[in-house]
Amino acid sequence: MTQALVDLIPALPKVLLHDHLDGGLRPQTVLELAAEVGHELPASDAESLGTWFVESADSGSLVRYLETFDHTIAVMQTADALARVAREAVLDLAADGVVYAEQRWAPEQHLARGLTLPETVEAVQAGIDEGIREAASRGQIIRVGQLVTAMRHTDRWQEIAELAVAHRDRGVVGFDIAGPEDGFPPSRHVEIWRYLAEQDFPTTIHAGEAAGPASIAEAVHLGQADRIGHGVRIVEDITFHEGFDDDGERRAELGRLAHWVRDHQIALEVAPVSNLQTGATSATSVGDHPITRLKELDFAVTLNTDNRLMSRTSMTNEMTLLVTEAGWTIDDLADVTLTAAWSAFMHHDERRALVDDVILPGYQQVEGAQR
Ligand SMILES: [Zn+2]
């Protein structure tokens, strides 16, 4: 039974809201781009380099996890390199069954060889466009938007927010802040959230990954975040009891913030494998990762990869682990996919088209083929 479902997963239409461009490179591409610019790497073949990324990211510390990005970012400093990485990301996601994705990355980290901020965004967009065309020629239809990220500790938030808004009709669909969460809260630059709101510009904020509920509170109240990157530490505002009540609902008591997040159905961009690596959760396996409990409590849970290279993961892998370790059914997979589609940074009519024309027929086709 479980195996039958696992076999269906690759063909299911998937929606991915939280995937870092600089965390999803192919190891072989890192090698080739590093050779072009003379960047020294900790390994010299794709297999051992891929393993190095996973093992370094697996240390349980968010700080060490973030260090692995020094290498990927170092090889993404030219327009050609940015376009190549973006193109390959689109192709790899399309091959994974992803039909809608948002790719996030921080333009300010790609200026070391003379590119301007707008040039970096345009280079990534060129790669995305090329990847979409190439995927379509293979019969894989995918839509991809850019999320422009500001690094929390470098204080260029306003400039980056304006960069994102300036490219809103040329591929950029939203704004994000990333990097060290603890100590660099949204209140550090309170004015940008007002600016983004006045621009009617969608925002997601990494929160509840390396810091607790207070960080989530700032993200949703001060940052007016439409979605939360990870958000798994919202469980610290929930008291879980054993078992389920008479209606089959999991027994738990929510604090005020947890209620707020659930009442407003603010999407949580959860990435189980990544969360286990960075210690965002005390869980030791996908089986006891809080994503399942949060979903049972009707939070707006979405499933994500975060960093495919560092976590050696894919949407198919994340779904497979949830099925085999946490008992998820095909309805659970459809559920997080639909939640992600309805939380995507595009207009409501476009979300509806994605749901009605792509995801639901895709599920029907896959389930029909099984019978
Ligand atoms: Zn992230």
- List, for residues 307-316, the tens digit of each pLDDT value: 999 999 999 9
Measured in Å, residue 229 CA sits from the centre of ligand 1 at 6
Measured in Å, residue 158 CA sits from the centre of ligand 1 at 20
Within 13 Å of residue 116, how many CA atoms lie on the same side as its CB?
5
Q: Is 207 inside a domain boundary? A: yes
Measured in Å, residue 242 CA sits from the centre of ligand 1 at 31
Q: Is 140 inside a domain boundary? A: yes
Q: Is 176 inside a domain boundary? A: yes
Q: Is 104 inside a domain boundary? A: yes
Helices 330-343 and 315-326 meet at what angle, rounded to 10?
A: 140
- Residue 208 maps to which CATH number? 3.20.20.140
Transcribe 119-173 into DSSP letters.
Answer: HHHHHHHHHHHHHHHHHHHTT---EEEEEEEEETTTT-HHHHHHHHHHTTTTTEE
Measured in Å, residue 367 CA sits from the centre of ligand 1 at 32
Strand ranges for the chain from DSSP E? 14-20, 98-105, 143-151, 172-178, 203-207, 227-230, 238-244, 250-254, 267-270, 301-303
Q: Is 371 inside a domain boundary? A: no
Q: Is 12 inside a domain boundary? A: yes
271-299 b/e (C-beta count within 10 Å ≥ 16 → b) = bbbbbbbbebbebeebeebbbbbbbebeb
pLDDT number for residue 195 = 97
* 209: annotated active-site residue: yes
The one-character DSSP state at 233 is G
Per the structure, how many domains does the chain have?
Answer: 1
Measured in Å, residue 270 CA sits from the centre of ligand 1 at 9
Q: Is 370 inside a domain boundary? A: no
Q: Which candidate in 108, 122, 181, 209 is catalytic?
A: 209
pLDDT number for residue 58 = 86
Contact indicator for 86, 72 with CB cutoff of 8 Å: no
Measured in Å, residue 259 CA sits from the centre of ligand 1 at 24
The one-character DSSP state at 249 is P
104: containing domain: 2-365
Q: Is 93 inside a domain boundary? A: yes
Residues present in the chain in total: 371
Beta strand pairing call for 172-178 and 203-207: parallel
Contact indicator for 334, 71 with CB cutoff of 8 Å: no
pLDDT number for residue 183 = 84
The string of pLDDT tens digits covering residues 49-105 is 999 999 998 876 666 677 799 999 999 999 999 999 999 999 999 999 999 999 999
pLDDT along the chain (371 residues), means of 10: 92 98 98 96 95 87 78 98 98 98 98 98 98 98 98 94 97 94 87 97 92 92 96 96 85 96 98 90 92 96 97 98 97 98 98 98 89 62
